[in-house]
Amino acid sequence: MANPILELENLKVYFNVGGGFLKKKDVVKAVDGISLKIYPGETFGLVGESGCGKSTTGRAIVKINQPTEGKILVNGEDITIIKGANLKKFKQDVQMIFQDPYASLNPRMTVGEIIKEPMDIHGIYKTNEEKEKRVRELLELVGLKPDHIRRYPHEFSGGQRQRIGIARTLALNPKFIVCDEPISALDVSIQAQVINLLEKIQAEMGISYLFIAHDLSMVKHISDRIGVMYLGNLVEVGDSDELYNNPLHPYTKALLSSVPIPDPRVAKSRERIVLQGELPSPINPPSGCVFRTRCPKAMEKCSQCKPELKKVKDRMVACFLYDGDKE
Amino acid sequence: MDLKKDELKLTPDLFEKLDENEKNAEKIAYESKTYFQDAWVRFKQNKLALAGLCFIIFMVACCIIIPIISPYTYDGQDMTNSNAGMSMAHLMGTDKFGRDILVRIMCGGRISLSVGAIAALIALVIGIIYGGISGYVGGKVDMVMMRFVDMMYSIPDMLYIIMIVVVLEPSMFSILLGISISSWMGMARQVRAQVMTLKEQEFSLAAFVLGASKSRILFKHLIINSMGPIIVSVTMLVPSAIFNEAFLGFLGIGLSAPQASWGTLANDARQIMMAYPMQVVWPVLAICLTMLALNFIGDGLGDALDPKKK
């Protein structure tokens, strides 16, 4: 296989919270040592419940959050220590689509100014006519009318705004886009519109995506591979169809059993796994396997040491249940 | 999960042609309005604020025009006609040196209004830069900068305005310096609060991801979006600066004669208030009406610039 475009090596992002005068600071382990590789032209889906660190992972990749430990390699270069001209190149190559289309566009700028801004920052085009032409092209690419250029964001619907946001990220011809729940703030009727656009762009421009979401059926639809996160850890990584049809990790099983099925007969016959208890606090995660407190198959061993992500059959699973499997 | 394939057969008659209107689904019908056009529409609906704006425009026009077209000057004395009452020759009468009060009030208005406007402007510039940097950089820098503001706040402002004016001799410059030094802290705090809430918004993160520099994010994204509340507090600063200046004039440490502001005019007239009360009424009326008008404008702008009140 080709060289990965993005590689995370034991990435850890911790936040200090609370603390103050004569009070000890707490450390939130938002991302606690995850490693993964994403290849050119591929879509990698990252799923997990709220607060599991999937957004923080995405934000660390675009340098919004500084990693506490570990490496983030983009085209083999560690971006946590990148500077100067290389940093500028990196900002062109790696872009992000945000969750809330109502908050991600500056309300005081016209659509034209918003899409033009990255071109201004990086000085890609010399003259204003060239920029304007490119803006019109981009607007058409995302299915908006070129004469929307002088409109303000508040005049558009959520789906239209999200497409403006996509046009802005495409202005720099990026090679990798972090999609941070790009559809979760949209109406179901609009979601398909945006997903189809993302797929079309990928087919035309060969961009890789890291697709962060909690809508499992949507992630399965768009992703080539899926990673499942729980409390800052990756618990299972695999080909999206395989993982969807045959989950191995107990958490993945529980997560998939919560996906609604549009067929009452199948839905009735299915066994719903309901997890007991609450998501533990990331300030004080359980020892050993972080999932053991809610795992229906927890063993003695789970509290003693942390399971590593190991190759099991066609995928990677971090669970002692599959320890015997040496294939 | 899998749908049974034979249950769903797609035949051409299940589809219909897209209607002509559907093709224009992305079209926006209504006229595009900028933020300030929108605010203007809302501002116009507030009658009190509109009246205040008209009054201020009228006042400014009078202050510019009347001293030019009037046959009298602000310092032209006529001892034969001192302390005259209202007449066609002197609409507001004359003072104890026989100077035309109308012209003196309009010349005083030039000084009072420009002190108000310039002091508010200086406070705005300092406040935006100081508060913007403090809010955007955050952390220790923010702590040190804000403690300095707290320190400045703890000194009664009249104390150092008077000290500055006395040490530097009363003049336009020293009065402006004193008033601006006392009024930028509130502005800085407000800008800081705005910037701190806006910097976590996704559009400023998006600008960061696009590679925008810190100053670009601060000025093009954060400050511009906090302009609404900032403009409102600037319009509130103008009357307080006018009031401070009038207060200094009234204390007798304002501009030196024969120059006059509204405050010094009121102070001069105070001495002969029992005999000629109208001489106090005119400058006080000018101060009151201007402050009232500016406060109405500030209120109206507050409503007009806040999109949540739409």
pLDDT, tens digit (0-9, with 9 covering 90-100), for A103-113: 899 988 889 99
With CB atoms and an 8 Å threshold, state whether B210 touches A100.
no
Q: What's the complex ipTM? A: 0.85
CA distance A276 to A299: 16
With CB atoms and an 8 Å threshold, state whether A98 touches B205.
yes
Q: Please name the residues in contact with A169: beta carbons below 8 A apart, sequence gap of 6 or more.
A: A95, A96, A97, A177
CA distance A87 to B211: 9
CA distance A174 to A61: 14
* Residue A114 contacts residue A106 (beta carbons within 8 Å): yes
- Residue A34 phi/psi, 5-degree rounding, is -115, 145
What is the structure's pLDDT at A154?
84
Chain A residues in contact with B223 (beta carbon < 8 A): none
Which of A87, A95, A144 is facing B26, going by the closest CB pair? A144
Whether A88 has its CB under 8 Å from any CB of chain B: the answer is yes
What is the token pair recorded at A173? 């011809």
What is the token pair recorded at A67? 């990693």
What is the structure's pLDDT at B28?
64
- Band (pLDDT 50/70/90 cuts) for residue B1 is very low
Which of B34, B210, B227 is facing A117, going by the closest CB pair? B210
* Segment among A26-30, B27-31, B73-77 with least mean pLDDT: B27-31
Which of B27, B33, B225 is facing A106, going by the closest CB pair? B225
Other CB atoms within 10 Å distance of the CB of residue B64: 12
* Residue A59 contacts residue A180 (beta carbons within 8 Å): yes
What is the token pair recorded at B89? 């020759």
* Segment among A31-40, A128-137, A188-197, A233-242 with least mean pLDDT: A188-197
Q: Please name the residues in contact with B73: beta carbons below 8 A apart, sequence gap of 6 or more.
A: B67, B103
* Residue B224 contacts residue A108 (beta carbons within 8 Å): yes
Burial class (CB in 10 A: 0-12, 13-18, 19+), A9: middle
What is the token pair recorded at B237? 């600063």
With CB atoms and an 8 Å threshold, state whether B209 touches A96.
yes
Whether A168 has its CB under 8 Å from any CB of chain B: the answer is yes
- Band (pLDDT 50/70/90 cuts) for residue A98 is very high
Chain A residues in contact with B227 (beta carbon < 8 A): 108
Closest residue in A to B34 (Cα) is: A152
What is the structure's pLDDT at B307?
60
| Nearest Cα residue to B305 out of B208, B235, B228 | B228
What is the structure's pLDDT at B128?
94
* Residue B270 contacts residue B28 (beta carbons within 8 Å): no
What is the structure's pLDDT at B193?
93
- Band (pLDDT 50/70/90 cuts) for residue A313 is confident
Chain B residues in contact with A263 (beta carbon < 8 A): 1, 3
Whether B199 has its CB under 8 Å from any CB of chain A: the answer is no
Share of chain A above pLDDT 70, in %: 97
CA distance A89 to A91: 5
CA distance A23 to B291: 49
With CB atoms and an 8 Å threshold, state whether A118 touches B210.
yes
With CB atoms and an 8 Å threshold, state whether B211 touches A117.
no
What is the structure's pLDDT at B31?
67
Dihedral of CA atoms B286, B290, B292, B298 in degrees, nearest 10, equals -170
**Closest CA of chain B from A93, distance in Å:** 10
Which of A62, A88, A156 is facing B209, going by the closest CB pair? A62
Per-residue pLDDT tens over the stretch A223-240: 999 999 998 899 999 999
Query: Could you write out the three-class secondary structure of chain B?
Result: CCCCHHHCCCCHHHCCCCCHHHHHCCCCCCCCCCHHHHHHHHHHHCHHHHHHHHHHHHHHHHHHHHHHHCCCCCCCCCHHHCCCCCCCCCCCCECCCCCEHHHHHHHHHHHHHHHHHHHHHHHHHHHHHHHHHHHHHCHHHHHHHHHHHHHHHHCCHHHHHHHHHHHCCCCHHHHHHHHHHHHHHHHHHHHHHHHHHHCCCHHHHHHHHCCCCHHHHHHHHHHHHCHHHHHHHHHHHHHHHHHHHHHHHHHCCCCCCCCCCHHHHHHHHHCCCCCCCHHHHHHHHHHHHHHHHHHHHHHHHHHHHCHHHC
Closest residue in B to A142 (Cα) is: B26
Whether B207 has its CB under 8 Å from any CB of chain A: the answer is yes
CA distance B230 to B123: 11
* A282 vs A59, more confident: A59
Chain A residues in contact with B35 (beta carbon < 8 A): 107-108, 152
pLDDT at A97 over 90: yes
C-alpha distances in Å from residue B219, one per residue of A21, B142, B223: 34, 18, 5
Give the best residue of A15, A87, A100, A106 to mutate against chain B (max B CB count within 10 A): A106
CA distance A171 to A122: 10
> Which element (helix H / strand E) includes A236?
strand A233-239
- Residue A138 phi/psi, 5-degree rounding, is -65, -40
Closest residue in A to B25 (Cα) is: A144
Q: Report how many helices (DSSP H) and strands (DSSP E) chain A contains, helices first.
A: 10, 12
- Parallel/antiparallel/unpaired status of strands A208-212 and A43-47: parallel
